[in-house]
Amino acid sequence: MTQSFLSALLGAERPVIMEVKSRDAHGADLLRGRLPGDVAAAYQQAGAPCVSVVTGRWFGGSAAMLHEVTARVDVPVLLKDFVTRRDQITAAARAGVSAVLLTAALLPRESLHDLARQCQAHGLTPFVEITDAEEAIGLPNPRDCVVAVNNKDITARERDAGDLDRSRALLPAVRAAGTLCPVSASAVNSPATAAGLLAEGYRGLLIGTSLLRAPSVEAWLAEFDTHRAASTEKTGRVVVPLTVEAPPVLPHPVPVPGTAAGGTVPPATPAGEAEGVPA
Ligand SMILES: O=C(O)c1ccccc1NCC(=O)[C@H](O)[C@H](O)COP(=O)(O)O
């Protein structure tokens, strides 16, 4: 891996984080006989700047999936699991990921911020997923965080249809939080919708189901490019790739004020759902 997750996404012509996920929220198979590593490799081949892998068991994930994916791609990898403890971040860094999902709706504020600092201390990008404006406030070093609006409700296991208006409504708050990279995640169900969200000001998108169900990723991306060109013509808004300096990796362990080194954060996630993160 040569670039941090954040710089890879900001520097991409097509800022789409392509996700490998075994099952959707209703249990439907998304891999259809394909191996996770093969799907990830196909994404990289198609030009993915970054890949996401869901290891959370609600979505049929496992630690093995993470290893299969990291073994097959050179692009930065985002780990999506129910991360509540510092040791999960240490393990994720050891496993070769570049970014870690932190779900604001499932973490007390202090823990969210502590885990974000831990990610940064390991040179990982905190991928902070929010569902309301308040959750974005006060993140540590926000320029080094991705802040993603989740269009679905993880507390309901994402069984809802998703609400893209949430992304539209929260974009000003996400920008105000200080991130360079607002992302819209979940329920981005078509190339047209994806292009629309970029035209409205998002710097990145996280897409799982729509790409996994597409008969051809290349055809999906070609349609996306067509819609983007059309919306650029209409709005004049162009997403200019940015180069950012990778944040420094601080010496480890990094003492975090107010917490016991190596201590755990209060468990706020469904018990036993985070075993996809390697120990
Ligand atoms: O959102 C979470 O907190 C979460 C935690 C652990 C595993 C997965 C989690 N979310 C999954 C997702 O958010 C979606 O897979 C992702 O955004 C893609 O959504 P879609 O394009 O609708 O498949």
Q: Give per-residue pLDDT as tens, 131-178.
A: 999 999 999 999 999 999 999 988 877 888 899 999 999 999 999 999
Please check whether residue 137 is in contact with residue 128, taking contact to mean a CB–CB distance below 8 angstroms.
no
Atom of ligand 1 nearest to the CA of 19: 18
CA 186 to centroid of ligand 1, rounded, Å: 6
Residue-range domains of the chain with CATH: 5-235 (3.20.20.70)
Instruction: Centre a 10 Å sphere on the Cβ of residue 137 and count the other Cβ atoms it contains.
Output: 13
What residue owns the CA closest to ligand 1's atom 17? 186
Q: Name the residue of 31, 127, 154 to mutate for ligand 1: max ligand atoms within 8 A of Cβ.
A: 154
Q: What is the pLDDT of residues 242-260, one digit of tens each?
A: 666 555 544 443 333 333 3
Is the ipTM of this structure higher than 0.95?
A: yes
Strands 77-80 and 50-54: parallel
In the chain, % helix, strand, coil (3-state, to 5) comes to: 40, 15, 45
Cα–Cα distance for residue pair 40/21, rounded to 1 Å: 10
Atom of ligand 1 nearest to the CA of 212: 23
The pLDDT value recorded for residue 237 is 67
Which tops the pLDDT comparison, 61 or 238? Answer: 61
Instruction: List ligand 1's pocket residues with C-beta within 6 A.
Output: 19, 21, 54, 56, 59, 80-82, 101, 103, 129, 150, 154, 158, 185-188, 206-210
Cα–Cα distance for residue pair 137/5, rounded to 1 Å: 22
